[in-house]
Amino acid sequence: MSTEPRKNGEAAPVEAANFIEEFINEDLANGVYDEVYTRFPPEPNGYLHIGHAKAICLDFETAMKYGGKCNLRYDDTNPGKEDTEYVDAIEEDVKWLGFQWAKRCWASDYFDEMYDCAVMLIKKGKAYVDDLTAEEMKEYRGTLTEPGKESPYRNRTVDENLDLFRRMKDGEFADGEKVLRAKVDMASPNMNMRDPVIYRISHATHHNTGDKWCIYPMYDFAHPIEDAIEGVTFSLCTLEFEAHRPIYDWVLREVGKWENPPRQIEFARLELTNTITSKRKLKALVDDGIVDGWDDPRMPTVAGMRRRGYTPEAIRQFCRDIGISKSNSLVDFAELEHCVRDDLQNKVESRHVVENPIKVVITNYPEGKTEMIPVENNRNVPEMGEREVPFGRELYIDGEDFMEVPVKKYFRLYPGNEVRFKGAYFLTCNEVVKNEDGSIKELLCTYDPETKGGDSPDGRKVKGTIHFVEASTAVKIKVRNYTNLLVEDENGELVPDEDSVHETYAYAEPSLGDAKPGERFQFFRHGYYIADSKYTTEDEKVFNRIVSLKTSWKKK
């Protein structure tokens, strides 16, 4: 522990927003640490998901709040499962979320130093090579109610251990034949303290160190050393590591190289309704071809949410809103959608798009004439200005805006009813023309030229306002609406719903013909949409529904 007084400009306590910041404030005030240095330590064995986004926001924002630093560290101590594709994806995702790391580090860069630390422990009599099989080791470990039994190899001499560990490193033994264990306490009530394995043999090629090593450090040994080497002060991790904190502290204390070792603080994992937050399970969805890659717009991965059209601001806000807690809970996915809607509502322009289009012919409107109707780009933000949409004799309206036999309180178009066509005129439906199969061919309507602009000079009121797309200039677009990728089966297990992409064609006002991949819009009265980054081309515009306009979810 440093006893030096803190220097000018060093981190000072801030108003604590959660229990982690309370711990930090205490440590800063007591001079335990003079800076806030955190890290985000993903294992590069898959794409990041919404749970990681929470950890990223916490790690980076906590450091930022105290004027500190945060590293991006690849926790690559498991050869075989890790891949550089994932490394690139992780970097893109962290940057997209809006964060910049102080350093990018690799746990595998510290393998030499970790090996030295292990040798040090052996020399202190604090680690030994064990020949028990995995099976036997499990037996010897005891249970929560019974103490463990000491391995017959536990009392090997230091020299014997040094020799065997070196030979493990030199590749003399097969996978699983021997392990190095910390010598802690086989009777500890904490199972993680019953001589945990700290090195194992694995003759696998590592993506960074190649075939240099055939022994690899285990998480409980590697993680505290990684943190300490980087000068991390607060190592934030999820709750399942709480019971590992004694071994984290034990390793740092026994290795004893660091004057001011880091402090581990645990917080609750983020779990969302209808959502898997496990890379392994998400990888299975990709490998089984159930989704269109890791960035499928239905995936809870950062890449999927990006392609779906979620914004980094919305995700960060969501992570702040749900807060940091010490107990696990399930968050309603609708809360994330609420943040997305909230962020988009003042940012994106609206466009007229109609799904399941029905044709309207205005029998008293001049043939061949079109006029331009001004409409606001964003109802909430007048500064976003106006644009013009064409209006003419033939229009399309949305299938939901007409009922041949209206239900009660239906104020949109039906035979005999007059409604406002937004910003244009009042129209009355006079006749429904059918195809031979009984489906609707077109609606014959008349308009009132006196109602231009959408108001009647005689004060006549209409109850419904609907939007439209002019037929001769309409652009046909592909629209993909999504429902939950995962749904509960009869046992309450989350299983993929093969029918969670609903693709239709729609007619849009002409400007959408120029939409670029990644551009977002509100489809007026429908929802927020983004031009899909993978499938949108010059000739075909494909839109993902980001989120619908309405929700039943209420902010607490």
Residue position matching structure tokens 């959502």: 275
| Residue 42, contacted partner among ligand ATP, Mg ion, none, CB below 5-8 A by kind | ligand ATP
Size of the chain in residues: 556
Residue of the chain from 24, 51, 118, 536 that contacts ligand ATP (CB under 6 A): 51
Residues that bind Mg ion (CB under 5 A): 43
CB contact at 8 A, 360 and 415 = no
| Residue 356, contacted partner among Mg ion, ligand ATP, none, CB below 5-8 A by kind | none
Local structure of residue 375 (DSSP, 8 states): E
Residue of the chain from 33, 37, 42, 412 that contacts ligand ATP (CB under 6 A): 42
- The whole-angstrom separation of Cα 234 and Cα 224 is 11
Compare residues 94 and 508 and give the one whose CB is closer to ligand ATP: 94
Residue 337 annotated among the catalytic residues of the structure? no
For 447-478, b where at least 16 C-beta lie within 10 A, e where not — what string? Answer: bbeebbebebeeeeebeebbbbbbbebbbebb
Neighbouring CB atoms inside 10 A of 523's CB total 25
Q: Active site residue: 43, 113, 150, 160, which one?
A: 43
Name the β-bridge partners of 427: 419, 447
Interaction of residue 52 with ligand ATP, rule CB under 6 A: yes
Residue of the chain from 270, 477, 512, 542 that contacts ligand ATP (CB under 6 A): 270
Name the β-bridge partners of 529: 521, 545
Mask of contacts with ligand ATP, 271-290, x by CB under 6 A?
A: ------xxx-----------
| Residue 55, contacted partner among ligand ATP, Mg ion, none, CB below 5-8 A by kind | ligand ATP
* CB 75, min distance to Mg ion, A: 7
Nearest to 338 by CA among 26, 547, 66: 547
Q: Active site residue: 141, 156, 279, 420, which one?
A: 279
Interaction of residue 41 with ligand ATP, rule CB under 6 A: yes
CA angle 368, 454, 460 (to 5 degrees): 120
| Residue 262, contacted partner among ligand ATP, Mg ion, none, CB below 5-8 A by kind | none
Compare residues 72 and 339 and give the one whose CB is closer to Mg ion: 72
Nearest to 295 by CA among 93, 113, 118, 468: 93
Nearest to 19 by CA among 215, 236, 224: 236
Residue 493 annotated among the catalytic residues of the structure? no
Neighbouring CB atoms inside 10 A of 65's CB total 16
544: which 2 tokens? 């993902």
Residue 43 annotated among the catalytic residues of the structure? yes
* CB 51, min distance to Mg ion, A: 11
**Helix (H/G/I), strand (E/B), else coil: 47:** coil
Compare residues 270 and 427 and give the one whose CB is closer to ligand ATP: 270
| HEC per residue, 293-307 | CCCCCCCCEHHHHHH
Interaction of residue 54 with ligand ATP, rule CB under 6 A: yes
Q: Which of residues 72-91 bind ligand ATP (CB under 6 A)?
A: 75
CB contact at 8 A, 549 and 525 = yes
Compare residues 199 and 267 and give the one whose CB is closer to ligand ATP: 267
Interaction of residue 445 with ligand ATP, rule CB under 6 A: no
* CB 257, min distance to ligand ATP, A: 23
Compare residues 42 and 68 and give the one whose CB is closer to ligand ATP: 42
Residue 320 is inside which H or E element, if any? helix 312-322
* CB 276, min distance to ligand ATP, A: 9
Q: Active site residue: 81, 149, 269, 347, which one?
A: 269
Interaction of residue 263 with ligand ATP, rule CB under 6 A: no
Compare residues 96 and 535 and give the one whose CB is closer to ligand ATP: 96
Interaction of residue 71 with ligand ATP, rule CB under 6 A: no
For the chain, helix (H) and strand (E) counts, in that order, are 12, 29
Chain positions contacting ligand ATP, by CB under 6 A: 41-43, 51-52, 54-55, 75, 237-238, 269-270, 277-279
So which residues are the catalytic ones? 43, 269, 279
